[in-house]
Structure 1
Amino acid sequence: MHVTSIDRYMLEPGLVTEWSVAPGEVSASAVPPSYNQQFHLDTARTHGVGRSVWMAAAFDLPGRLDRDALAQALVHFVRRHDTLQTGFDVSPDAMARVDLDPDDITVVASESSLTTSPHELRDHLRYRFTEACDPLTFPAYLFATIERDSHYTVVSAFDHTLVDGYSLVIALGELRQIYQRIIGLGRSGVLTEAELTEELGDPGSFLRYCELEAEAPVTEIGDPRVREWARFYQRCGGTAPSFPLDLGVEAGRPAPQGADVRPLLDAAGTDRFEEICLDSGGSLFTGTLTAMGLAVHSINGADRMPLQFPLHIRQDPQWANAIGWLTTSAPLTVELTPDCDFQSSLAHTHASFRTALTLKGVSMAQVREALGDGYRRTRTDVFMVSYIDYRKLPGTDDHDELNAHHISNVTVADDAQFWISRTQRGLALRSRFPETPTARRAVTEFLVRLREIMHDVCENGVTPIAELTSQLNLEGTPVV
Structure 2
Amino acid sequence: MHDIATVYAALARGRRPDLPEVGSYLGYSREQRRRYREMDADDGRLDHWKGFMARNGDFFPPFPLDLGLEPGRLYPTVNELDPLLSADGTEALEARCRKAEGRLFMGLLAAVGVSLRKEGGPDVYRGLMPVNERGRGSYAHTMGWFVNTMPVEFSVAEGQGLDETMAGVSAALDEMWRHVDVPFVKAWSLLAPEHFSLRTWPFAVNFFSYLDFRKVPGARHHTPWRARKHIWSSRTNGICFWLHRNDAGLHMNAIYADTPEARRTKAALGRTLVRTLENMAHHGTF
- TM-score after normalising by structure 1: 0.55
| 1:418 paired residue number | 241
- State the Cα deviation string for residues 55-76 of structure 1 (Å, max 9, x = none): xxxxxxxxxxxxxxxxxxxxxx
| 1:305 paired residue number | 125
- State the Cα deviation string for residues 137-170 of structure 1 (Å, max 9, x = none): xxxxxxxxxxxxxxxxxxxxxxxxxxxxxxxxxx
| Residue type of the alignment partner of 1:448 | R
Structure 2 counterparts to residues 156-167 of structure 1, below 5 A: none
Structure 2 counterparts to residues 105-184 of structure 1, below 5 A: 172-184=1-13
| 1:387 paired residue number | 210
- State the Cα deviation string for residues 262-293 of structure 1 (Å, max 9, x = none): 11111111111111112112221121121112
Where does structure 1 differ by over 4 angstroms across 4 or more consecutive aligned residues? 220-224, 372-378
1:433 equivalent to 2:256? Answer yes
Q: 1: CA distance between counterparts of 2:244 and 2:192?
A: 35
1:209 alignment partner, one of 25, 28, 35 = 28
| Residue type of the alignment partner of 1:304 | V
2:153 alignment partner, one of 319, 328, 333 = 333
**Structure 1 residue 173: Cα displacement:** 0.9
Q: 1: CA distance between counterparts of 2:70 and 2:53?
A: 20
1:453 equivalent to 2:276? Answer yes
2:167 alignment partner, one of 334, 347, 370 = 347
**Structure 1 residue 225: Cα displacement:** 3.8
**Structure 1 residue 394: Cα displacement:** 1.8
- Going from structure 1 to structure 2, the CA distance change for 1:402 and 1:453 (only over 3 Å counts) comes to same
Q: 2: CA distance between counterparts of 1:405 and 1:373?
A: 37
Q: Root-mean-square deviation (CA), in Å?
A: 2.2
1:361 equivalent to 2:181? Answer yes
1:258 equivalent to 2:81? Answer no
- State the Cα deviation string for residues 335-381 of structure 1 (Å, max 9, x = none): 21441322211211221122222222221233234436597776166
| Residue type of the alignment partner of 1:201 | P
Equivalences, count: 282
Q: 1: CA distance between counterparts of 2:76 and 2:175?
A: 35
| 1:280 paired residue number | 100
Partner SS state of residue 229, structure 2: strand
Partner SS state of residue 251, structure 2: strand
- State the Cα deviation string for residues 19-48 of structure 1 (Å, max 9, x = none): xxxxxxxxxxxxxxxxxxxxxxxxxxxxxx
Give the conservation status (yes or no) of the 8 Å contact 1:258–1:410. Answer: no
Q: 1: CA distance between counterparts of 2:138 and 2:42?
A: 31
Structure with the bigger RCO (C-alpha within 8 Å, sep 6+) is 2
Percent of paired sites with the same residue? 26
Unaligned ranges ≥5, structure 2 = none
Give the conservation status (yes or no) of the 8 Å contact 1:262–1:429. Answer: yes
Q: 1: CA distance between counterparts of 2:193 and 2:4?
A: 45
- Going from structure 1 to structure 2, the CA distance change for 1:372 and 1:384 (only over 3 Å counts) comes to closer
Unaligned ranges ≥5, structure 1 = 1-171, 464-480
Q: 2: CA distance between counterparts of 1:338 and 1:381?
A: 24
| 1:147 paired residue number | none
Q: 2: CA distance between counterparts of 1:292 and 1:389?
A: 17
Q: Per residue, is there more strand in 1 or in 2?
A: 1
Give the conservation status (yes or no) of the 8 Å contact 1:238–1:374. Answer: no
Q: 1: CA distance between counterparts of 2:45 and 2:99?
A: 29
1:396 equivalent to 2:232? Answer no
| 1:462 paired residue number | 285
Specify the structure having the higher radius of gyration (Cα).
1
Q: 1: CA distance between counterparts of 2:127 and 2:224?
A: 35
| Residue type of the alignment partner of 1:214 | R
